[in-house]
Structures are given as structure tokens and as C-alpha cells.
Amino acid sequence: MLLEMEHVTKRFGDVVANRDINLSVEAGEVHALLGENGAGKTTLMNILNGMYTADEGTIRLNGEKVVIHSARDAIARGIGMVHQHFMLVPALTVIENVVLGLKENKHFLDLRAAADRLSDLGDKFGLSVDPWAKVADLSIGQQQRVEILKALYRNASLLILDEPTAVLTPQEVDSLFAMIRALTQEGLTIIFISHKLMEILRICDRCTVLRRGEVVQTMAIADITDKQQLANMMVGRQVDLRVEKPAATPGDTVLSLDDVCYTDRGGVQRVKNVSFDVCRGEILGICGIDGSGQSQLIECITGLAHATQGRITLNGVSSGRMQTRDILGHGVSHIPEDRHRMGMVGRLSVNENLLLMTSARREFLFRGFYRRQVISAYNQKLCEAYQVKTQGVDEPMGHLSGGNQQKVIVAREMDRQPKLLIAMHPNRGLDIGSTKYIQGKIVEARNDGAAVLLVSGDLDEIMELSDRIAVMYNGQIMAIMPQQAATFEKLGLLMAGVNPEEVDRQTVGHGGSNYE
């Protein structure tokens, strides 16, 4: 047995994040770690990676008891972690990122020798990347390769991959899985953390399920019949994996973009001649790998930035020069992509974060003063409705797990009953139960007449929720199509920048285009 974590317990004050956990991982396997948001997965891996120290329990590597105090200790023991948000310096080259911080390179840096070794590693594991390329110029999939190579360069024998497919195209996922198989064939071991159940069934050998900080079960993937069984194990109850979505009946146009362009302060054009409409009673899904211009496009729509060309109208009124407060006042709700930077204030309570967009509601005020009991009771019910795991609405927002922070933000924005709902990666980092609940709420908003603009890199989500799908690449809309005309292969090729006509030839032959 390569790794044994025995009777591990970790407390944060009165909160027990991990309780008496036993985890065993065999050499050369891909071991999935599953659980709902707040189940204790990240805490457990942070203990293994040296970010936290367990209050109780022991860690054994190859039968030897070890104490891991830091990430440096972890990598010295052969443990590497590839985080969902890559830890790379964009302005540096690949090889500079790989050797950054290495002790043996402190006084003398032989980059050429290091680059040769890195190239050899890349060839061996099918992870080839130009050592001299600047990281900022690499695709997301290539950056992930750099992160894996960085760990291998440091002689990692156990790799922790945290949501490794969250920002990849389907083709990049296939490439990643081929890499994982090559790594395990060479004797490396992988701990695979993901909420995508089909991927776990496809690539993993065994899985351990955590629930409320405790191990529920460890079993072989071969003994699991389907993703429904896996979902039920995670949540502890029957989970409906289907989202009921009646046919759309689009109404009047709510949001319209005409030839919108945006150039940032550095002179780089991030959005290029984008045009589309979103109507009442429909969901327009926008997919694309991260960095394709989606963020800047949404900033232009919500008033966080102003388009440098083109026209944006909201309910027939030009909104391109409006301030964000005025746009939100026109019945727009915004679930931002970065919850920490744009969606919440960590030091404020859950109650106060929920109040940020509703502070002027009449029922919350009496003669100019807040009715705190009324507000707390209302927000407590909202947390219960959206299944937020919290000790109470007075708990600081920063104390919640990432998934529960996201649920608070979604609850706040959905509760406003918007005319236009802009949802950017609304379920990123959420477990399957929470994901299906929030997806149902998005469809419910659409059924109630809201126009919904959904931005997501999760093609399962895009395909399931959207009535029409737009694909962005390098700031441009590559194609807009009805959901019925889309396939994962088409969307993946378009997300990678393949010309729509070429996509048609590759996926449906020469019988004409399926794109609008």
C-alpha cells in the first residue's frame, strides 16, 4: 500500500472537518475522492499536501510513518498536487515556472539542462510542451501539462489532481486521460478529485466517498453499476439526475448585443464583433475554454467595463454606458465567475452577504432601521431552501466551504426574481446534488419568463440547460446553434478554434451546415 491515512481528525474550532478518516491508496492506481461540498475532501488533501496538520491520526507512505509540515515536506516525500486554479506565473517561460523555488537551483541555474530533462519527461509521459514558451501564450490544456510536469520534475510519485477537467475541452479531457494512463503504467499513483461522475467511472480504479467529514465507503469502480449509484452514495439519498425542462417559448428580446467589441487597457482586443439576442423564456448558453473573452463580454453587459464599439440594449434601452448599479436595478441578476473577488465579502456574515442586494426591501425596514429578526428569519429560510450548510446566518461567509459560499450567492441572485439572469459558471465546484438543484432553479427562472444568459465550461451543463448555444473562441462567437443541433464533438472543436465549416466536414460530412 503506497499511502495510508489512519484515524485522521481535523478540527477548526467547534467544527470537525475530518473525523476519524481512514484512506488507503494502492501504488499505480487512480483513486477517486468524492463527496458533497463541505464533506472534508479539500481539508484531507491539504493535510496530505502539508497545508494543514492533523489534530489526530497518522500518515504512512510505503509503510513508513511520516509527518508533513509543509508543501516542501510533501514534495520531498514524493507528493505533488495540481490545483484546479493553476499555480503558474504567466510572464515566465515553462522551464522558469518548473524550476522556480527549487533549492538546488538557488545559486546556479542551468536552464538548458533543466529544459532537456523536462523535454525527456514530456516525451516519456506524452506531456510534450515547449520549455521556452511563455506560459501566458499556452492554452489551458497546455498549462495543465506544465503543472503536471512541474510535479514530475520534482520526482512526485503520488499526484493529487483537484478538479482537473473543470476548464478543458472534450478533446483535452481525452488527452489528459491518456496522460493519466501513461503515468500509472509507469508506476505513479493518482488521487482524482472531481464532481463529474462519468469521468470517475471512466478513469478511476477505486473510490472513497466522504460525507460530513467521515468515510462512507471505499469500493472498486468495477463494482459500481452507474453514476446514479455513485451520486446516491455521495449525497446519502436518491438524487434525481435529470432536470425537467419543457420546450422553450421565447418572448420579447430582453438583451441585445450588436457588433460589440472591447479592448483592454493594454491594447488587447478581448471581445471581437459579438452580436446576439436573449429573449424572455429562453436560455442562451455560451461555452468556451477559460480566457476566450467570456469574462470581458459579461463585464461589458453588467457595466463593469464599457464596450469600445457596438451597442448593448436592455429591454430596448441602451445600457452600454450605464453604471452597474443602474443595470442591476433594471431587473438583472448576476452570478459572477469569481465568488471571492466579485460575489461576496468573506469577513461579513452570511446574513450580511445575502442582504447586499436586498438592503432596500420594504419588509426589511421600519422607519429607516433594519428589522434584524425579520431579515435573519428570511435569510435562514433562504439558506435552507438552497441547502447551504452553515452553523447559522451569523457565521462569517469566509468560514463556509467554497461550494456553500457559491450556494449563498446563487440564492441571493435567484431570490431577486430577475428579468435577466446572467450566470457565469454557477455550479463550478458544486457537488452533484447541489448542481442539479441549482440547474433546476435556473430552468424555473426561464419558465417564469426570465431571459437567461448562461456561461459555462461544463458541456454537460450547457447541453442540458441551453435552448440555444453560442461558442466563443479568442473573443469571437464561432457559431450559434439550437441545442438540438449541438454535439459534444462539435462544441469541443469550435471551442478549440476550428472553423465552423471545417467542423461540419469533420462531424457531419458535406451535407450542409447545422449552424445558424
SS (H, E, C) 318-329: ECCCCCHHHHHC
> Which range, 30-34, 70-74, 192-196, is most confident?
30-34
Q: Each residue of 467-487: pLDDT tens digit?
A: 999 999 999 999 999 999 999
- Residue 367 pLDDT grade (very low, low, confident, very high; cuts 50, 70, 90): confident
Q: Is 438 in a helix, a strand, or coil? A: helix
**Alpha helices, DSSP H, located in 49-196:** 71-76, 94-99, 111-125, 140-153, 170-185
Beta pairing class for 253-263 and 269-279: antiparallel
Number of H helices, E strands in the chain: 17, 22
Q: Is the pLDDT of residue 509 over 60?
A: no
Q: Among 462, 442, 421, which Cα is nearest to 244's?
A: 442
Of 231, 222, 225, the residue nearest 35 (C-alpha): 231
278 Cβ neighbours under 8 A, 6+ residues apart: 253, 254, 255, 256, 284, 420, 451, 452, 453
Give the mean pLDDT of 283-287: 97
Q: What's the burial of 121, exposed, middle or buried (CB within 10 Å: 0-12/13-18/19+)? A: middle
At 46-63, the pLDDT tens digits run 999 999 999 999 999 999
Q: 136: which DSSP letter?
A: G
Q: How confident is the model at residue 514 (pLDDT cuts 50, 70, 90)?
A: very low
Q: What mean pLDDT is predicted for residues 283-303? A: 92
Listing DSSP states for 478-500 in one string gives EEEEEGGG--HHHHHHHHTT--H
What is the residue-wise DSSP string for 292-336?
SSHHHHHHHHHTSS--SEEEEEETTEE-TT--HHHHHTTTEEEE-
pLDDT tops 60 at residue 513: no
Strands (E), 214-268: 214-220, 253-263
**Predicted pLDDT at 261:** 97
d(CA 446, CA 452): 6
Q: What is the pLDDT of residue 66?
A: 94
**pLDDT, position 340:** 81
> Residue 403 pLDDT > 80, yes or no?
no
Q: Which is more confidently placed, 360 or 317?
A: 317
pTM for the complete prediction?
A: 0.76
Q: Compute the distance between CA of residue 454 and CA of residue 301 in angstroms, rounded to an integer.
A: 13
Choice among 27-36, 257-266, 326-335, 422-431 with the minimum mean pLDDT: 422-431
Specify burial of residue 22 (Cβ count, 10 A radius: 0-12, 13-18, 19+).
middle
Name the packing angle between helices 170-185 and 488-495 (round to 10°). 90
**158/343 Cα distance (integer angstroms):** 35
Cell of 266: 493594454
C-beta separation of 34 from 28 below 8 A: no
Instruction: In whole angstroms, give the CA distance from residue 508 to residue 461.
Output: 23
Q: How far apart are CA 468 and CA 458, in angstroms?
A: 15
Answer for the pair 495, 169: CB distance below 8 angstroms, yes or no: yes
The three-state secondary structure class of 453 is strand
Q: Is the pLDDT reported for residue 516 higher than 50?
A: no
Which residue from 15, 33, 37, 16 is spatially nearest to 24, judged by alpha carbons?
33
Strand-pairing partners, residue 119, are: none
Answer yes or no: is pLDDT of 378 > 50. yes
Cα separation, 46 vs 2, whole angstroms: 18
Lookup result for grid cell 478554434: 497
Residue 91: how many other CB atoms lie within 10 Å: 10
| 396 secondary structure, DSSP code | B
What percentage of the chain exceeds 90 in pLDDT?
Answer: 55
pLDDT of 174 strictly over 50: yes
Lowest mean pLDDT among 85-89, 102-106, 252-256: 102-106
pLDDT over 60 at 71, yes or no: yes
Kindly tell me if the per-residue pLDDT of 515 is higher than 50. no
With cut-offs at 50, 70 and 90, classify the pLDDT of residue 508.
low
How many whole angstroms from its chain centre is CA 482?
Answer: 25
Decide: 115 and 132 in contact? Cβ < 8 Å: yes
Residue 25, strand partner residues: 3
